[in-house]
Every structure is written in C-alpha cells, then in structure tokens.
Amino acid sequence: MRIHRIVIPTALCLIAAAALASEPECAVNYKSDATSATTSVLTTLAPREVIEMLPRKLAAAGASMDWATPAKGILKAGSLDVRADASGSVTRVVFHTSPASDKDTLCRYAMLVGNPPLPAAPPVPQDAALIAQMKDDLLKKHQIVQPGISRGLNNATFRSLDDFLQFTLTGIKNLSDVKREYNVSLQVPRETCSIASEDLDDSAVAMLGQAESHRTKPARADATLIYEKNGAAWKLTDAFLTHIETMK
C-alpha cells in the first residue's frame, strides 16, 4: 500500500507537468480576477514592429480597433489594451482586458504576435577526458594567436596545466565525418598573454614617464580548436584565439 501512495501522486505530478508543458505561452501566463485578465508573450520583433503589425490582425480576428501608437509600443482595441516593451534581446507583449476575457479569447489575440524567440540551446557537455586531452594538446602547441592581429600580437602561451585557471567547452560543430570544431572559453594568467590593445596602451603610458600599470587579473580568452580524425583517434590540427582581454 505504501508503494501505491508514493507512485500515484508522482504519476499525477508527471501528468500535470506534461499538460503544463504542452500549453502555449499565452495560456501559461494567463491570469484573471473579477475585473480583468492579462497574459503575455515574447517575440523577436521590436516593440514598434509589434504595434504596427497587430491592428490589421486584431481587426481580422474580430477586435474593434480604436488607436495604435507604434512609437510608444501601445494600442487599444475596445476593452483590449496591448503594450510592447523591450525585455533584454526580445520584446514582451502584454495583453490586458477589462472586463476580463476568457483564456481562449485572450490567447487568440496574443498568438497573433508570432515570431517567438528560439529556445535556449542546451548546455554543452563538459567531457572531462576530452578537456584533459585539449589541455595536453595546447601544452604541446605551446602558443596560440588571434588571426588578423598583425604579427600575432594577441596570443596566449601555455607552460603547464596550472595555466588553465578555467576551461569550458562552449560549442561543438561537426564540419564533416572526419573534422570537428570546438569552441572553448579559457581563463589564463595575464603574464602568459600578449594583448595588443592593452599592452600598447601600457607602453605608451610608460613612454610618457608615468607609472606603467601592472595588470594582475587573469585574462579571459575565447578559442577555436579544430580536430581531424586520424585512424581511431582525433588529432588537433589547428587552434586559434577569437577574443582575449584582461578580466574586469
């Protein structure tokens, strides 16, 4: 009996979670009380674009348009008020009715916005064995530079495993069956790096007779590593920086 008491509530929770996950964003965000109802959706459109586009769609859906002010991101259609505001890299569009509209009606209007942001990419698996191999390969290579910066003035040198203060895989791309690209984020001691924009500024200050600044914080670097299949193993064939700066 005790097993049944545990299993049944767990199953009900899973069913409820699945039902919630299948609901559209506007239904999940729907709230109402005795006097009003509201919901919201996210879109990649700018606030102005949302308000310029919605009147025609709302009218086609049966709403009675009153006015729209795209520059302010607002419009009114009878009892419906819509407000679009930037929220980070996307736009949040809020639909409010007074008196309250039911969920289906408000969702029908909200879904006219479209262009939802793409879901966040899943985190890149941090394979400990792969990271250990990459560190070893970079130690053997000894130094990597940033292409396009004259004479390799942006570079990072690897002397020992202690130089890898932090090492994170940030992206993996299969270029072909035998070629793979990895993006990594590194933190390394500042004294192991050359950073053109910062070092040249420091040298200019010293030439003016002022005390040269000593940068003690680690450097943060983004790098790309290219591996190609060599028999059953993968071999590092290229590695380069894409960005490097002293941490603030």
Sequence ranges of the domains in the chain: 23-110, 128-246
pLDDT digit string, tens, across residues 191-208: 999 998 886 655 555 555
Q: What is the CB neighbour count within 10 angstroms for residue 86?
A: 11
- Provide the pLDDT for residue 213: 60
Cβ atoms of 177 and 137 within 8 Å: the answer is: no
**pLDDT bracket for residue 137 (50, 70, 90):** very high
Residue type at position 237: T
- Provide the pLDDT for residue 229: 95
- Provide the pLDDT for residue 202: 56
What are the tokens at 211? 């005390």
Question: Among 69, 64, 76, which residue's Cα sits nearest to residue 52?
Answer: 69
- Provide the pLDDT for residue 14: 43
**pLDDT bracket for residue 1 (50, 70, 90):** very low
- Provide the pLDDT for residue 245: 93
pLDDT digit string, tens, across residues 89-119: 999 999 999 999 999 999 999 999 999 998 8
83/66 Cα distance (integer angstroms): 14
Question: Among 54, 31, 167, which residue's Cα sits nearest to residue 115?
Answer: 54
Beta strands in the chain, from DSSP E residues, in sequence order:
31-32, 37-43, 67-69, 74-77, 80-87, 90-97, 143-145, 155-157, 166-176, 179-188, 193-194, 219-230, 233-246
What are the two backbone dihedrals, phi and then psi, of residue 186, each rounded to the nearest 5 degrees? Answer: -125, 150
- Side-chain-facing half-sphere of 197: CA atoms under 13 Å: 6
pLDDT digit string, tens, across residues 64-91: 999 999 999 999 999 999 999 999 899 9
CATH 1.10.287 fits 128-246, yes or no: no
Whole-number percent of the chain with pLDDT over 70? 84
52/75 Cα distance (integer angstroms): 9
Rounded to an integer, the average pLDDT of 215-240 is: 94
Domain range 23-110, CATH class = alpha beta
